Amino acid sequence: MMIPNQFYCLFDIVTLYFFFLGFLLLHTFASPVLQHCHHDQMDALLEFKHEFLVNEFNSNSSLSSWKTNSDCCLWEGVTCDTKSGKVISLDLQYIPLNNFLKLNSGLFKIQHLRYLSLRDCHLHGEIPSSLGNLSHLEHLDLLGNYLVGEVPASVGNLTQLKYLNLNNNKFTGNIHVPFANFTKLTHLDISNNQFTGEFPLVLLNLATSLSILAISNNLFKSIFPSDMSRFHKLEHIDVGGNSFFGPFPTPLFMIPSLTWVNLRENQFEGPIEFRNISSSSKLQSLFLSQNKFEGPIPKSISKFSNLETLFLSDNNFTGTIPISISNLVNLVTFDISQNKFTGPIPRSNLVKLQYLDLSNNKLEGEIPGWLGGVLELMLSHNSFSRFGKSLEVSDVTHIQTLDLSSNSFHGPLPHWICKLRPSMFLDLSNNIFNGSIHQCLRNTIVPLRALNLQNNNLTGILLQDLFVNATNLELVDVSGNKLEGKLPESLINCISLKFLNVRSNKIKDKFPSWLSSLPSLNVLILRSNEFYGPLYHPHVSIGFQSLKVVDISHNHFNGTLPPFYFSKWHGMTTLREEHQSYTVYMGYPAYGGFYRSSMEMVNKGVDTKFQRIRKDFKAIDFSENEFGGKIPSSIGFLKELRLLNLSGNTFTGNIPQSLANLTNLEELDLSRNQLSG
Ligand SMILES: *[C@@H]1O[C@H](CO)[C@@H](O)[C@H](O)[C@H]1NC(C)=O
Ligand SMILES: *[C@@H]1O[C@H](CO)[C@@H](O)[C@H](O)[C@H]1NC(C)=O
Ligand SMILES: *[C@@H]1O[C@H](CO)[C@@H](O)[C@H](O)[C@H]1NC(C)=O
Ligand SMILES: *[C@@H]1O[C@H](CO)[C@@H](O)[C@H](O)[C@H]1NC(C)=O
Ligand SMILES: *[C@@H]1O[C@H](CO)[C@@H](O)[C@H](O)[C@H]1NC(C)=O
Ligand SMILES: *[C@@H]1O[C@H](CO)[C@@H](O)[C@H](O)[C@H]1NC(C)=O
Ligand SMILES: *[C@@H]1O[C@H](CO)[C@@H](O)[C@H](O)[C@H]1NC(C)=O
Ligand SMILES: *[C@@H]1O[C@H](CO)[C@@H](O)[C@H](O)[C@H]1NC(C)=O
Ligand SMILES: *[C@@H]1O[C@H](CO)[C@@H](O)[C@H](O)[C@H]1NC(C)=O
Ligand SMILES: *[C@@H]1O[C@H](CO)[C@@H](O)[C@H](O)[C@H]1NC(C)=O
Ligand SMILES: *[C@@H]1O[C@H](CO)[C@@H](O)[C@H](O)[C@H]1NC(C)=O
Ligand SMILES: *[C@@H]1O[C@H](CO)[C@@H](O)[C@H](O)[C@H]1NC(C)=O
């Protein structure tokens, strides 16, 4: 009995011993991990906090954990070194600090900082020279503040920097000598500032370390260096939106690690060529838009088999699209719009292609079936005339946006249009499509936001139920055809409608007072049709709350308008600051593009095509009808009116006194009436 007891006892002692030893060990080795904050560091951090106006109301953090009675190594955004306990990292991104960085800021006393992010912190003013005191910094991120002035020379002391991001501030001056000290820098982003001068040759000192170089959207102006191949680790270079000039920098493309090149919006000129470039190029994205490049796309483009994005738009490129494009099997986005390319679209099968913009060239021939798989297809302003037979059998249901406007298509609307379910826009305007609008288009336009059939040769009766379920439509333009019948009553379902243009058809109908129930209708153009009868009926709504432009001229409207007729046209009565145009915005996934339709009105006596209609352009054109009686005095409510044309009617009596209220009026035409007084 004793033995086991003693045994147990012994065991307990042994257990206790090891337990105690373990505790000792734990204590000895674990205690430095507790990272007790150094007092001077805590004071510096608190000093820094109090320099700013951080509060919970404008931020999703108020640095509320930064309190004297706690360990500063555990504070939000603060990291200490595990051994020394000194603060080595401060990450305050997105916390609005709303102030200047002071020359003697507490920040500069945290001398061991290696990582500092003040991204999107609403900092103002200049960078104080004492930033150079943080000589251990490896990562400095000041993106998205309101910092101004030159980068101080003392930053040259930050010789350990690997990452420097000054993107989206208001810095000025050139990238000067101190940058030569950043020999460890791999990531440099100074885009979206107002830096000036020549291409910063000081960057050549960093050539062996840099992998990301972004200096886009500044005011740099000079010839672009020809020896960029020295940057032999470069992966990503963005110099877009400056004024660099000179020939295509071929040697740049010999850098084997290169994946992303943006030369967009500069003044590069001459042909592009890819001589001596290895076919194992990793290049994925190439942006050459908005330069003065010319000549053909070289066949050697096919070496870039990893290319996913290729923008060549807005240059002076010529020649045909080389068949070698079809080797770019990874291409997702291809934009060669606004050039002088000729000839047909080559046979190909770029199965990954989602966005294709060939608009504004001199391309011709047929639209091949393989394009049916593309999401956004922009083919306007060319001379395309036919659809390939294979389009009839290809799956076109993925097309979101189709722009075939201003080409030479003719004959009836193709049947494959019926299979489309585009959710963005369908633009077939300025062609010579003829025949009637198929009933099937009813299904096509259900998800659609903009339908443009302007200036074709379409005939037949407009289908009354064409717009049933088309609740997303913002723009409908069927002007410049020969359509007959009544205005489709199903338009009442288009609760998003902003712009309706049926100008120059043969529509024979009464005034569509019922459109007044559409809450967003801004523009209504019924000009040059066969509309007839009075505008006003007792008990029928007279309020078009959002209407800003109405043109019902050249019809057969008659009858009189009661004095209060315009009293509920609030879209023209309210004085508001509006500078945008009536555009129906459609985001392309590739870039922030938009779609717009044009509107024609008689302005200053000239038939003007308003490509963009200013939002403050408010107009009423009732000319060339058969209206009689007095001009309604409520016209004086429409304080924002710029154009009023009532000419060619039979209005009688005095010009109403209230017309004097229209102080924004730029054009007034009351001619050819029977006014007196
Ligand atoms: C804090 O706000 C920024 C910018 O508004 C946002 O990007 C970030 O996700 C927010 N963070 C949290 C934790 O909500
Ligand atoms: C920066 O460092 C210098 C000397 O190294 C020192 O005199 C100065 O006080 C420091 N500035 C700040 C704000 O800590
Ligand atoms: C920091 O840079 C300035 C100017 O470049 C220099 O005069 C100063 O000695 C440097 N300070 C340190 C601590 O290196
Ligand atoms: C470069 O760094 C050294 C310290 O390493 C410093 O003395 C020198 O002033 C710096 N040069 C510039 C131009 O800032
Ligand atoms: C291209 O390679 C050839 C020989 O392969 C060479 O003679 C020529 O200098 C190279 N051109 C460039 C621009 O490197
Ligand atoms: C294209 O070339 C013509 C002359 O051939 C020139 O007038 C025009 O400015 C050039 N356009 C661009 C974008 O370089
Ligand atoms: C459509 O135009 C073609 C010529 O392009 C013509 O042959 C055909 O008869 C026209 N159809 C209709 C319905 O007007
Ligand atoms: C439109 O069709 C008519 C026949 O309906 C034809 O006379 C006219 O030439 C066509 N317009 C165009 C531009 O082809
Ligand atoms: C319109 O919607 C109704 C109800 O969802 C549906 O029954 C009808 O088939 C739709 N019509 C068209 C043309 O999409
Ligand atoms: C308006 O025109 C219609 C024919 O479209 C006619 O029947 C009616 O009498 C006219 N009304 C007035 C007031 O002139
Ligand atoms: C008013 O309309 C008539 C007929 O449409 C037109 O001839 C005239 O030029 C217009 N007046 C102004 C000022 O635009
Ligand atoms: C015209 O303006 C005057 C003074 O601002 C106002 O009293 C009157 O009601 C206005 N008339 C109309 C019809 O808007």
What pLDDT score was predicted for residue 382?
Answer: 98
To test the ligand 5 pocket, which listed residue (227, 253, 254, 275) has its Cβ within 8 A of the most ligand atoms?
275
Tell me the CA–centroid distance for residue 110 and ligand 4, in Å: 20
Bridge partners (DSSP) listed for residue 556:
532
Tell me the CA–centroid distance for residue 55 and ligand 1, in Å: 15
Cβ atoms of 223 and 201 closer than 8 Å: no
542 domain residue, yes or no: no
* Domain count of the fold of the chain: 3
Ligand number nearest CA of 554 is 11
Report the atom number in ligand 11 closest to the C-alpha of 645. Answer: 1
- pLDDT cut 90: percent of the chain above it: 66
Structure tokens at 103: 């020359």
DSSP-assigned states of every residue in 95-137: ----SBPPTT-GGGG-TT--EEE-TT---EEEPPGGGGG-TT-
607 domain residue, yes or no: yes
Cβ atoms of 464 and 489 closer than 8 Å: yes
In sequence order, the 6+-apart residues with CB closer than 8 A to the CB of 326 are 346, 347, 348, 349, 350
Mean pLDDT, the chain, integer:
87
Q: How buried is residue 342: exposed, middle or buried, by Cβ count under 10 Å (0-12/13-18/19+)?
A: middle
Based on the domain organization, do 407 and 305 belong to the same domain? no
2 domain residue, yes or no: no
To test the ligand 11 pocket, which listed residue (602, 649, 671, 672) has its Cβ within 8 A of the most ligand atoms?
602
288 domain residue, yes or no: yes
421 domain residue, yes or no: yes
Rounded to 5°, angle at Cα 49 from 46 and 50: 90
Ligand number nearest CA of 443 is 9
To test the ligand 7 pocket, which listed residue (385, 407, 432, 434) has its Cβ within 8 A of the most ligand atoms?
434
Whole-model pTM: value is 0.85
Based on the domain organization, do 317 and 286 belong to the same domain? yes
Task: Determine which residue's CA is closest to atom 7 belonging to ligand 11.
Answer: 605
Cβ atoms of 237 and 266 closer than 8 Å: no
Of 291, 320, 353, the one marking the end of a domain is 353
Ligand number nearest CA of 666 is 11
Number of residues in the chain: 677
Q: Which residue has the higher pLDDT, 407 or 549?
A: 407
CATH number at residue 628: 3.80.10
> Phi then psi for 303, rounded to 5 degrees?
-65, -25
Task: Determine which residue's CA is closest to atom 1 belonging to ligand 1.
Answer: 60
pLDDT higher than 60, residue 290: yes
Based on the domain organization, do 341 and 397 belong to the same domain? no
Based on the domain organization, do 482 and 423 belong to the same domain? yes
Band of residue 60 on the pLDDT scale cut at 50, 70, 90: low
The CA distance from 640 to 575, in Å, is 6
314 domain residue, yes or no: yes
> Phi then psi for 189, rounded to 5 degrees?
-130, 110
Based on the domain organization, do 378 and 317 belong to the same domain? no
Based on the domain organization, do 315 and 258 belong to the same domain? yes
> Phi then psi for 33, rounded to 5 degrees?
-65, -20
Report the atom number in ligand 3 closest to the C-alpha of 154. Answer: 2
pLDDT higher than 50, residue 217: yes
Q: Which residue has the higher pLDDT, 584 or 180?
A: 180
Q: How buried is residue 278: exposed, middle or buried, by Cβ count under 10 Å (0-12/13-18/19+)?
A: exposed
Strand duo 450-452 + 475-477: pairing: parallel
Owning domain of residue 582: 549-676
Of 503, 519, 537, the one marking the end of a domain is 503
To test the ligand 2 pocket, which listed residue (51, 101, 130, 137) has its Cβ within 8 A of the most ligand atoms?
130
Based on the domain organization, do 237 and 313 belong to the same domain? yes
CATH number at residue 401: 3.80.10.10
Query: Strand, coil or helix: what is 444?
Result: helix
Bridge partners (DSSP) listed for residue 343:
363
Structure tokens at 576: 């508001």
Task: Determine which residue's CA is closest to atom 1 belonging to ligand 12.
Answer: 661
The CA distance from 135 to 556, in Å, is 82
Based on the domain organization, do 495 and 580 belong to the same domain? no
Lowest mean pLDDT of 61-70, 263-272, 550-559, 568-577, name the range. 568-577
Cβ atoms of 325 and 356 closer than 8 Å: no
Bridge partners (DSSP) listed for residue 236:
212, 260
Bridge partners (DSSP) listed for residue 485:
507
Cα–Cα distance list, 100 to 7, 97, 275 (Å): 72, 9, 51
The residue written with tokens 């699209």 in the block is 321
Cβ atoms of 313 and 334 closer than 8 Å: no
Band of residue 10 on the pLDDT scale cut at 50, 70, 90: very low
Tell me the CA–centroid distance for residue 545 and ligand 10, in Å: 28
Based on the domain organization, do 383 and 497 belong to the same domain? yes
In sequence order, the 6+-apart residues with CB closer than 8 A to the CB of 344 are 320, 363, 364, 365, 366
431-464 pLDDT per residue, tens:
999 999 989 999 999 999 889 999 999 999 999 9
Query: Strand, coil or helix: what is 81?
Result: coil
Band of residue 586 on the pLDDT scale cut at 50, 70, 90: very low
The CA distance from 447 to 469, in Å, is 8
What pLDDT score was predicted for residue 616?
Answer: 62
Task: Determine which residue's CA is closest to atom 5 belonging to ligand 3.
Answer: 154
76 domain residue, yes or no: no
Tell me the CA–centroid distance for residue 637 and ligand 12, in Å: 7
The CA distance from 283 to 303, in Å, is 10
Give the residues surrounding ligand 11 with Cβ less than 6 Å away: 553, 602, 605, 623-624, 645, 647-648, 667, 669
